[in-house]
């Protein structure tokens, strides 16, 4: 067994092997270098994690200082200063009128597990102990921890793992809220929360404004919480700092991760609104959740540095890149390389089909992504889509490289499929 085969690589068959061209050894700015000496342009922001580019100096320096000044401090039964500063900065960024408290976590999946516990306990402390059902969307992705895996609406072997989905429901997001209203009519007094990605991470599909308006109306009637899972969309990815800012009503809980530390260290957070925090305070309730590595000095320092860097970005940087991505996607559709595209800002999915009009399989998308990588660019696979999630400093020249690699990759893939 080779050294790299010791790694049980995520989301691939257990017998997968890798040549030197697929073993990353370093990353800088918007490029990743591999063991065979090749370098590829990364159009995925390192799985959404590095919108400021690999090796951002301000973040790296903040992390290095934290490892010297306080290599580890926990949040078990006491705070520490860096975590307090990071929590205050996050609330200031997202809006102190909307959020009051921060619960630190270590990943998007772990944070969604914590969120599900929080909304269920809120029901109990608010006098609604029957409210234990958490509603997600069909086709959504919230992680692969025990709870978040159950909540994810993609088919990800949930029955095989005997995940407990008795307290989970899934509804469509593209029917104007019809399924949601029907569900609430049947068991609205049992629904603790509805959890939404503003843009579905699996397919880069934005939520329909009509669905969101109906959701807001139904919350007034039934009293459930609204949770925005912005693990993928937070920190400017879709244009505004948080995509849920445009919703008719603000979320009661906001889940963030990925860009939170620009990939420098594992981190996530729940930003919790006054409805939830004040109910816990009134009842003097203890939230029974803790993670050893949550809110460490390193994670907190990286978070503070990311917020500073985002605030220094020139105005309209993200909006202009989003416009250029839309132009690129429009041209791919116009020139026959794609069927359509979806998404928002710097998070889009290019929809592709086989020659007979059928959707691409996961294997087909994997082959296409590999073809594009062979042309020198990394893109992200999705359901019958390739997803483009570039860092915010992407240049016009890099967009041209991206466009050319996609076209050549599709041409080569089609030629082999013919």
Give 34's strand partners.
24
Domains of the chain: 4-55+315-417 (3.90.1150.10), 57-312 (3.40.640.10)
Are 348 and 204 spatial neighbours (Cβ–Cβ below 8 Å)? Answer: yes
Query: Residues 36-56: pLDDT tens digits?
Result: 999 999 999 999 999 999 999
> Other CB atoms closer than 10 Å to residue 290's CB: what's the count?
14
For the chain, how long is the longest CA-to-CA vector? Answer: 67
Q: At what angle do helices 178-187 and 209-222 cross, to 10 degrees?
A: 10
Could you give the residue ranges of the DSSP H alpha helices within 126-266?
146-151, 178-187, 209-222
Give the pairing type, strands 225-229 and 253-256: parallel
CA 104 to chain CA mean position, Å = 16
Task: Give the tokens for residue 173.
Answer: 């997001």
DSSP 132: -
- pTM given for the model: 0.96
pLDDT of 4 reads: 65
- Identify the segments of the chain with pLDDT beneath 70: 1-4
Are 90 and 307 spatial neighbours (Cβ–Cβ below 8 Å)? Answer: yes
pLDDT of 121 reads: 98
Are 146 and 113 spatial neighbours (Cβ–Cβ below 8 Å)? Answer: yes
Alpha carbons within 13 angstroms on the beta-carbon side of residue 318 total: 23
pLDDT of 315 reads: 85
Query: Residues 319-344: pLDDT tens digits?
Result: 999 999 999 999 999 999 999 999 99
> Other CB atoms closer than 10 Å to residue 269's CB: what's the count?
26
**Cα–Cα distance between 43 and 197 in angstroms, integer?**
21
**Cα–Cα distance between 259 and 253 in angstroms, integer?**
18
Give every CB contact of residue 162 below 8 A, 6+ residues apart in sequence.
none
Give 383's strand partners.
none
Among 251, 134, 274, 154, which residue's Cα sits nearest to residue 198?
251
Give the SS3 label for residue 168.
strand
């Amino acid at each position: 067994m080779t050294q790299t085969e010791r790694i049980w690589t995520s989301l691939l068959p257990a017998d997968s092997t890798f040549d030197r061209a697929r073993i990353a050894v370093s990353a800088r700015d918007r490029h990743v270098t591999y063991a065979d000496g090749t370098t590829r342009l990364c159009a995925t922001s390192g799985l959404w994690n590095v919108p400021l580019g690999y090796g951002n100096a301000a973040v790296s320096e903040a992390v290095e200082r934290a490892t010297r000044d306080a290599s580890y401090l926990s949040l078990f039964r006491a705070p520490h200063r860096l975590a307090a500063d990071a929590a205050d900065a996050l609330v200031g960024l997202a809006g102190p009128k909307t959020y009051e408290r921060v619960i630190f976590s270590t990943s998007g999946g772990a944070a969604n597990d914590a969120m599900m516990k929080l909304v269920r306990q809120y029901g109990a402390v608010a006098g609604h102990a029957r409210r234990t059902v958490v509603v997600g969307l069909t086709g959504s992705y919230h992680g692969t921890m025990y709870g978040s895996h159950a909540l994810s609406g993609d088919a990800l072997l949930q029955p095989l793992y005997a995940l407990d989905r008795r307290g989970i429901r899934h509804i469509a997001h593209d029917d104007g809220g019809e399924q949601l209203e029907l569900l609430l009519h049947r068991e609205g007094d049992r629904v603790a929360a509805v959890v939404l990605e503003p843009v579905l991470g699996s397919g880069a599909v934005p939520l329909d404004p009509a669905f969101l308006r109906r959701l807001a109306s139904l919350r007034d009637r039934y009293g459930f919480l609204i949770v925005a899972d912005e693990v993928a969309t937070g920190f400017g990815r879709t244009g505004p700092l948080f995509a849920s800012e445009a919703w008719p009503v603000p979320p009661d809980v906001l889940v963030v991760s990925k860009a939170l530390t620009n990939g420098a260290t594992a981190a996530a957070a729940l930003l919790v609104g006054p409805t939830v925090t004040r109910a816990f305070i009134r009842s003097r309730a203890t939230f029974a959740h803790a993670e050893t590595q949550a809110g460490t000095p390193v994670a907190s320092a990286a978070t503070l540095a990311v917020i500073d860097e985002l605030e220094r970005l020139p105005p309209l940087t993200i909006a202009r890149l989003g416009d250029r991505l839309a132009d690129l996607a429009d041209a791919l559709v116009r020139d026959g390389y794609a069927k359509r595209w979806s998404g928002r800002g710097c998070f889009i999915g290019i929809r592709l089909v086989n020659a007979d009009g059928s959707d691409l399989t996961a294997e087909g998308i994997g082959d296409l992504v590999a073809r594009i990588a062979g042309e020198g660019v990394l893109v992200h696979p999705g359901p019958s889509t390739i997803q483009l999630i570039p860092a915010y400093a992407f240049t016009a020249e890099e967009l041209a490289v991206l466009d050319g690699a996609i076209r050549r990759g599709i041409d080569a893939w089609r030629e082999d499929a013919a």
